Structure 1
Amino acid sequence: MTAEAAAETGSGSRTRRGGRWIERWDPEDEGFWKQTGEKIARRNLVFSVLSEHIGFSIWSLWSVMVLFMGPEYGVDPAGKFFLVAMPTMVGAVLRVPYTFAVARFGGRNWTVLSALMLLVPTAAAALVMTPGTSYTTFIVVAALTGVGGGNFASSMTNINSFYPLRKKGWALGLNAGGGNIGVPVIQLLGLLVIGTAGAAHPRIVLAVYVPLIVVAAVLAALFMDNLGPVTNDTGAARDAAKEPHTWVMSLLYIGTFGSFIGYSFAFGLVLQNQFARTPLQAASLTFIGPLLGSLVRPIGGRFADRFGGARITLGNFVAMGAATGVVIFASAERSLPVFLVGFIALFVLTGFGNGSTYKMIPGIFQAQAVRRGLAGEAAAAYGRRLSGAAMGLIGAVGALGGLAINLAFRQSFQMTGSGTPAFVSFLAFYAVCCAVTWAVYLRRPRRGVPTAGPETGADAGEAAARPVYAQV
């Protein structure tokens, strides 16, 4: 029997479970990784990206549908901002149960099921996209697309279990970046439909995605695997929720991913309402920022692998603050070219920061395991257990940042007719994120203050000289 076959069948437990279950999985063992693990992990990553990509497209569906909604639909700008906020809220809430569905049903099994669930909001949107439909109906159907946002949490939790710590930044960044690209792809499709068939044909967009959803589900069923060691552990969720780092990272993730998804959903509406762009003109610009932000996410993870996620994250928030300052200036001056430069820079930085923050999560819990005296596989198992559970909570809270951004834009335009006040509030939040990142993860401990682990003597002195958690 080959090593790969042994990994996939385990010690007779495949018969017990049935399907594509892998019972032995130890990616921190370099021999196992090189001989068996890397090939299996890469295969699962490819099809995870495909499913998550389509999930993101459906999650951001209504950022495109609102561009088709002319005056005949009877929905004002404030109503449209609230409409695109609904999927964000529902997707954020669903990320928590989706995280633990991987352990309950298996990563491959849940990927298939969650992909097929995308057919529901897609078909519902096809039924209601017509003038005369009530606003309440639009709200309900838009909320259904939140299932696409949930896909991210289960996909990231699943891939986190496949890869060793030294490669998590790149793997998680690639998985998330490939998913994030679903946002600009559906926006490009919307642009193509508006530019060719016209704004009266939104159902063409939906017709394209129905077969893609089916293909993603079938490929996941054929080529992905379930990991037996990732067993259902409700205690992990409870322990992660008690851990202060979970909530600190949730705050930072609001600043990176919350900004990315919030800006992605709102960009077209901001261009239409603040700079009087037509739907076609807005659609021709909205995809650029999300595309670049998605492409740089793996690069952010790679930089975090090399230089430390905390350092990269702090520098990124400083740069986000500078870019927001440019946007505030351009918004106040009504300068579209400067606004686009600043806003697209913000998108790039949110994507880069997404990669670095997600790299920090497994690193933090691995560092805690070492400080508690664990080593080897015991430390790795502790890190995987808590980081996998924490990712669902962090992803859920982070996605709520997208809801806050859309509601801030709604309030800002409703009160002043401009997005400037909203951008000022975002700048203040990025300043808070800078302070928190430095204080929790980079500030050097005071002399004489003991560290969190069992280090003593020279080891303790050396640790005290280093910034806290700087390498996570």
Structure 2
Amino acid sequence: MTGEGVTSTRGGEPDGGAGGSRVRRGRRWIERWDPEDEGFWAQTGERVARRNLVASVFSEHIGFSIWSLWSVMVLFMGPEYGVDPAKKFFLVAMPTVVGGVLRVPYTFAVARFGGRNWTVFSALLLLIPTTAAAIVMTPGTSYGTFLAVAALAGVGGGNFASSMTNINSFYPLRKKGWALGLNAGGGNIGVPVIQLLGLLVIGTAGAAQPRIVLAVYIPLIVAAAVSAALFMDNLGPVTNDTGAAVDAAKEPHTWVMALLYIGTFGSFIGYSFAFGLVLQIQFARTPLQAASLTFIGPLLGSLVRPVGGRLADRFGGARITLGNFVAMGTATGVVIYASAMRSLPVFLVGFIALFMLTGLGNGSTYKMIPGIFQAQAVRRGLAGEEAAAYGRRLSGAAMGLIGAVGALGGLGINLAFRQAFAATGSGTPAFVAFLACYVVCGAVTWAVYLRPAAGARAATEAEAGEETRRPVYAEV
């Protein structure tokens, strides 16, 4: 399948390209792609984008499952493994930090190799950490070996950045919130799915059979790679541009959004990896009892991520993000109370609510990114496809940096829990620190994107005849 009516290359010869895009050999390259053109979008673009989105979601879903693999493997590690709780928190943090670092090169791999080509390769790469885990998951393996193999699972975290950058290029600005939310939400669901599988294995085969989980995922990894090869396309206009990374890094909004994404996605992935251990250590749950609860929060948080994107499309990402941080602070207050009182029912209510809010915030913050850079383009006096190209270039590069920093927030979550339990035997101090983080994120969202002074500046520009150039950040 090629571009279904879009301009593509066949047999090594181009049918004609969009101005300035590189000619690439191979029939799976689309050389003309203009989703902002409503006629093009209605005639062929939407069908092609949807097909690529479906295959992308499947591949990213498997990537997230492998990235969160060790949050499940530690539930199988009983006393015979000789790994204490503090070491387990560090073990589940290893894929987080590696995945965060890999998100930067994965972002630019799409432009270098093509979205379809890189998705196939990155999916097959997941076979390495899965096979390695199957080899080492046995009592007597050294802790250093476990750390090294857990680090390999970080490649699954890198998949998110390339997938989001790729899908961002397929969709028009007016639909990015929903499309990016659906792509990310479908990927995020990989976390509770592998946790559910772990629960099923522990409940049926017992806690001594972790290799069953790995045996299930090996054919799924192959299926994801085959699906990407058959149903995805490479976009010629998404040319390699290393300068975009430098320009995005110089843009203050990139780092503001990275901070906000630490608060949303960093919380989601950090809590997802740590939830089972918190239940075991603080509330004395058995591995089976912990596994029976661990999947609920990540599942609901994943399902509502597209809703966050949809709400941001309608009401503005900044507004939804601010309200979300206020709600996250409230839910964290409930969790702090329950943690101090050792009340498991109240803890679960607050923590699952917190998970759902991280999902909503993930959707709304990612909607903001392309909107911010599109507004920047308009402010510079650009219009039409020129403005859209500027927005795609900077937002695609920024997504890699923002995603990397956000993922490292998950490392902070696990290290905070590790320190809190080591010092006090409770996760309460960690939750107090997280509450402070959400307060800061909410204040930054308001100050940068919603405070009245920003509107006053915009009104001044409009009065000066620059109405079409003002960035309306509340709408991003």
Do they superpose with TM above 0.5? Answer: yes
Distance 2:469 2:58 in 1: 42
For 2:464, give the aligned amino acid: G
For residues 268-417 of structure 1, the aligned pairs below 5 Å read 268-417=276-425
Q: Is the 8 A contact 1:440 1:468 kept in 2?
A: no
- Secondary structure of 1:434's counterpart equals helix
1:156 aligns with 2:164: yes
For residues 47-62 of structure 1, the aligned pairs below 5 Å read 47-62=55-70
For residues 70-469 of structure 1, the aligned pairs below 5 Å read 70-445=78-453, 450-451=457-458, 455-457=462-464, 469=473
**CA deviation profile, 1:94-121 (whole Å, cap 9, x unmatched):** 0000000000000000000000000000
Q: Is the 8 A contact 1:262 1:401 kept in 2?
A: yes
Percent identity between the aligned chains? 85
Cα 1:103–1:453, aligned 2, differ >3 Å: closer, same or farther? farther
- Secondary structure of 2:80's counterpart equals helix
Shift of 1:20: 0.4
Distance 1:15 1:421 in 2: 56
1:470 aligns with 2:449: no
Shift of 1:7: 2.5
Shift of 1:457: 3.0
Distance 2:459 2:281 in 1: 51
Query: What is aligned with 1:5?
Result: 5
- Secondary structure of 2:263's counterpart equals helix
Distance 1:33 1:456 in 2: 35
Distance 1:6 1:313 in 2: 36
- Secondary structure of 1:7's counterpart equals coil
Q: Is the 8 A contact 1:442 1:468 kept in 2?
A: no
Distance 1:317 1:399 in 2: 18
Q: Is the 8 A contact 2:8 2:27 kept in 1?
A: no
Once the two structures are overlaid, the 10-residue window that deviates more, 3-12 or 243-252, is 3-12
Shift of 1:445: 1.6
Cα 1:50–1:438, aligned 2, differ >3 Å: closer, same or farther? same
Shift of 1:444: 1.4
Distance 1:54 1:307 in 2: 32
Shift of 1:17: 1.2
Q: Is the 8 A contact 2:325 2:438 kept in 1?
A: yes
For 1:309, give the aligned amino acid: G
- Which of 48, 57, 76 lines up with 1:40 in the alignment? 48
Distance 1:15 1:347 in 2: 45
Distance 1:410 1:450 in 2: 46
Distance 1:136 1:453 in 2: 60
For 2:150, give the aligned amino acid: A
Distance 1:172 1:3 in 2: 20
Q: Structure 1: where are the runs of 5+ without partners?
A: none
Distance 2:207 2:438 in 1: 37
For 1:285, give the aligned amino acid: L
- Secondary structure of 1:445's counterpart equals helix
For 1:286, give the aligned amino acid: T
- Secondary structure of 2:8's counterpart equals helix
Q: Is the 8 A contact 1:44 1:225 kept in 2?
A: yes
- Secondary structure of 1:343's counterpart equals helix
Q: Is the 8 A contact 1:300 1:351 kept in 2?
A: yes
Once the two structures are overlaid, the 10-residue window that deviates more, 11-20 or 46-55, is 11-20
- Secondary structure of 1:17's counterpart equals coil
Distance 2:135 2:246 in 1: 41
Cα 1:123–1:446, aligned 2, differ >3 Å: closer, same or farther? closer
Shift of 1:250: 0.0
**CA deviation profile, 1:49-98 (whole Å, cap 9, x unmatched):** 00000000000000000000000000000000000000000000000000
Shift of 1:458: 6.2
For 1:5, give the aligned amino acid: G
Find runs of 4+ consecutive structure 1 residues off by over 2 angstroms.
2-16, 449-460
Q: Is the 8 A contact 1:115 1:216 kept in 2?
A: yes
Cα 1:147–1:393, aligned 2, differ >3 Å: closer, same or farther? same
Distance 2:122 2:3 in 1: 31
Distance 1:458 1:154 in 2: 40
Shift of 1:8: 3.0
Distance 2:123 2:218 in 1: 11
Distance 2:445 2:35 in 1: 30
Cα 1:11–1:454, aligned 2, differ >3 Å: closer, same or farther? farther
RMSD: 1.9
For 1:112, give the aligned amino acid: V
For 2:73, give the aligned amino acid: M
For 1:457, give the aligned amino acid: A
Cα 1:443–1:73, aligned 2, differ >3 Å: closer, same or farther? same
Q: Is the 8 A contact 1:316 1:349 kept in 2?
A: yes
Cα 1:15–1:156, aligned 2, differ >3 Å: closer, same or farther? closer
